[in-house]
Amino acid sequence: MHLGENCVEETYYEILSVKEDASYEKIRNSYRSAILHSHPDKINSSRCSSDEKFLKIQKAWEVLSDAELRVVYDNGLRCSRQDGITADEISIEDMSVEINGEGGIIMELFYQCRCGDYFSVDSTELETMGFGLLRDGDCVLVRRLGAFVASVVLPCGSCSLKTRVLVDSDMKIPL
Ligand SMILES: [Zn+2]
């Protein structure tokens, strides 16, 4: 099974328009009505795409109707989603700092996403997560202020990608 190759690919559940916890009966009913509406013999126009749709439905049904195959498929789906959560893992030391606000109180950290926009977080947000930023000469020092986690996940400002940023005490971000 090749999962996770293409993030936008429909899942078998989406192909059959059923929920992921749907019962066998529910899936069978959806499969039957989907087949009725997409069987190549029943559709004259756009022959090609209807054939393709028909095959997809068949494949989805083959897997979801078989309890064992369905378990394997579900596990694969879960794994591919976990991979999909974060695009990259970076260290806070890889980020750029910008100091804003009166007296340089707020420090903003940036890291460019592959879409061109940025993953960003500021020192106020980091503080609520238990990390402090301290300006120290020509760099910013990271202090762990009782954070339970060693990383934070940041969403991109524009696209759906996220990045996991490793944060730890004594990490230095050059200014
Ligand atoms: Zn992005």
How close is the Cα of 4 to the center of ligand 1, in Å? 19
User: Ligand 1 mean position to 37 CA, how many Å?
Assistant: 38
Instruction: Calculate how far, in angstroms, residue 164's C-alpha sits from the geometric centre of ligand 1.
Output: 13
Q: Is residue 78 part of a domain?
A: no
pLDDT digits (tens, 9 = 90+) for 104-150: 578 999 999 988 999 999 999 999 888 999 988 889 999 988 776 78
Flag whether 74 is in a domain: no
For 36-53, how does the pLDDT look when each residue is reduced to its tens digit (9 = 90+)?
887 666 555 555 567 888
CA of 34 to the centre of ligand 1 (A): 36
| Domain assignment present for 16 | yes
Q: Domain of 153: which CATH number?
A: 3.10.660.10
Count other C-beta atoms under 10 Å from residue 71's C-beta. 10
Same domain assignment for residues 55 and 96: no
Q: Is residue 2 part of a domain?
A: no
Query: What confidence tens digit (pLDDT) does each residue in 49-102 have?
Result: 678 888 999 999 999 999 988 988 887 777 566 555 566 789 999 999 998 876
Strand 88-91 with 162-166, pairing: parallel
pTM of the full structure: 0.51
Within a domain: 77: no
What distance in angstroms lies between residue 161's CA and the mean position of ligand 1's atoms? 6
111 vs 99: CA distance, rounded Å? 15
* Domain around 57: 12-65
**Inside any domain, residue 72:** no
Ligand 1 centroid from CA 163, angstroms? 10
Is position 167 within any domain?
yes
